[in-house]
Amino acid sequence: MNPGGLGSPPASVSLGHEIYALAERLFPICRSITGDGVRQTLDVLSGHIDLERHEVPTGTQVFDWTIPKEWNIRSASITGPDGQTVVDFADSNLHIVNYSLPFKGILPLEELRPHIHTLPEQPKVIPYRTSYYTPTWGFCAAHDRVANMPDGLYRVEIDAEFKDGSLAYGEYLHRGQTEREFLLSAHICHPSLANDNCSGLALLAALARSLKARETRYSYRFLFAPGTIGALAWLSRNEDRTCLIDHGLVLSCVGDAGSPAYKRSRRGDALVDRAMAHVLGRLAGAKMLDFSPYGYDERQYCSPGFDLPVGMFQRSVHGTFPEYHTSADNLDFIRPEHLEDSFRILTDVIDIIEEDWTPLNLLPKGEPQLGKRGLYAALGGQKSSGATSMSLLWVLNLADGQHSLLSMAERSNLPFKELAAAARLLSEHGLLAAAS
């Protein structure tokens, strides 16, 4: 058990601003499920944590999927009949359909329009669209920008390349006292979308850095991989090690002002589900959601062949806010204070996972006399233990060898931290031992 926190930045810079600054560096990079944008992103993250890099060759079979060709794009534009540029990839990497086929030609407007995606109900934003597994070419644009394009011929150029290459992903392992693992995963395939998922990448990197200064019971594996195909690639390469994963979280959309939300694992009652329920249950507006097979990479980790105890943490739930998968998901949409709040929630969950244990009351017949042991005095003063008199009584009463500290917190509705502090204090005074 280690009661220590996960570290903090220098006093001159808030933790939230540090995380935001990293998200800001990641934001301009054009990422996809393969290609140099993923590698550039891993380069940036490697400046913060010691990532181990992996490349999975094109054509590799990963369960029912195949690693696709590598995609890289250099430029893309639409030029109107008057010679003016209508849409330009250089202005926003959302302007291209991600994984678009290369194309060069001159088209009349009626042939071009089906290849331009807009959001008429949100006319000022650019949508984010992909064509990973259905080859096509196309652009995305603000509806106001292209709604009144005049008839005529348009020059279209998409300078993109598909080649036999590889899919890249990165991972970092913080080694604990045991080989039992806590998996933390974030998708690395989205281009300039700040909340989904520059926020998740930056937050995981900050969490990994903070753990370096802490001795932990569990080992913590941080995975930065393209959505779906990257998680499948990791699972296929590490199938023999998935039995070591006792807890897991997928992170996305963790930097906006929405109330924190958690989607339970497929199991529904895993320790990480209960720990998150305890933490979020003390926050106004926080939401606990039941598992569904739709979302991010928790779908892969919770597929029936693995059924890992992996849930998903986010703030505004993906697909429910108007900025989702549009250019409005920009750096103004995420804030340092929300990133820091998400970080603290995750560290509280990790503290529960690390510090949970099952105590046994060594004087179970009646209440031990606490006053003569100086326990009541230890509750107050400048060196307060963090425990309360009620937490002492609850721990003593439920320490029958059948209740862990988390189950005591669930039963008593007291904060886990108070019960953990009480258990430490009682142990120091010879009243508790670990149940066998």
Instruction: Give the model confidence (pLDDT) of 315-324 as tens digits.
Output: 999 999 999 9
Question: 15-67+167-355 adopts what CATH topology?
Answer: Aminopeptidase (3.40.630)
Domain boundaries, the chain: 15-67+167-355, 70-163, 359-434
The residue whose two tokens read 């998200």 is 23
Residue 115 in marked binding region: no
pTM of this prediction?
Answer: 0.94
Sign of CA dihedral 344, 348, 350, 351: positive
- Residue 256 has phi, psi (to 5 degrees) of -95, 180
Find, among 66, 87, 255, 55, the residue nearest to 165 by Cα. 55
Instruction: Look at residue 345 in the predicted model and tell me its pLDDT.
Output: 98
- What the block records as the tokens of 352 is 């529960």
**212-250 residue pLDDT tens:** 989 999 999 999 999 999 999 999 999 999 999 999 999
pLDDT-derived band at 373, boundaries 50, 70, 90: confident
190 annotated ligand binder:
yes
Q: What is the 3-state secondary structure (H, E, C) of the chain?
A: CCCCCCCCCCCCCCHHHHHHHHHHHHCCCCCCCCCHHHHHHHHHHHCCCCCEEEEEECCCEECCEECCCEEEEEEEEEECCCCCEEEECCCCHHHECECCCCEEEEEEHHHHHHHEECCCCCCCCCECCECCCCCCCCEECCHHHHCCCCCCEEEEEEEEEEECCEEEEEEEEECCCCCCEEEEEEECCCCCCHHHHHHHHHHHHHHHHHHCCCCCCCEEEEEEECCCHHHHHHHHHCHHHHHHEEEEEEECCCCCCCCCEEECCCCCCCHHHHHHHHHHCCCCCCEEECCCCCCCCHHHHCCCCCCCCEEEEECCCCCCCCCCCECCCCCCCCCHHHHHHHHHHHHHHHHHHHHCCCEEECCCCCCCCCHHHCHHHHCCCCCCCCCCHHHHHHHHHHCECCCCHHHHHHHHCCCHHHHHHHHHHHHHCCCEEECC
Kindly state the greatest CA–CA separation across the chain.
93
> What are 180's two structure tokens?
């039992």
Considering the domain delimited by 359-434, tell me its CATH architecture. Orthogonal Bundle (1.10)
Q: What is the pLDDT of residues 85-131, one digit of tens each?
A: 999 999 999 999 999 999 999 999 999 999 999 999 999 999 999 99
Segment 375-418, tens digit of pLDDT? 876 665 445 567 788 999 999 999 999 999 999 999 999 999 99
User: What's the confidence (pLDDT) of residue 381?
Assistant: 47
Per-residue model confidence (pLDDT) at position 13: 61
Q: List the one residue out of 121, 132, 78, 112 whose CA is nearest residue 326.
A: 121
pLDDT at position 368 over 50: yes
Rounded to an integer, what distance in angstroms lies between the CA atom of residue 308 and that of residue 92?
A: 38
Q: Per residue in 258-271, pLDDT tens?
A: 999 999 999 999 99
Q: How many CB atoms lie within 10 A of CB 253?
A: 31
Q: Residue 240 has which token pair?
A: 């023999």
Q: Answer with the residue of higher pLDDT: 47 or 381.
A: 47
Spatial separation of the C-alpha atoms in residues 207 and 284, rounded to whole Å: 24
Fold for 70-163, please state it: Glucose Oxidase; domain 1 (3.50.30)
Average pLDDT, the chain: 94
Q: Measuring CA to CA, which residue among 296, 328, 316 is closest to residue 119?
A: 328
196 annotated ligand binder: yes
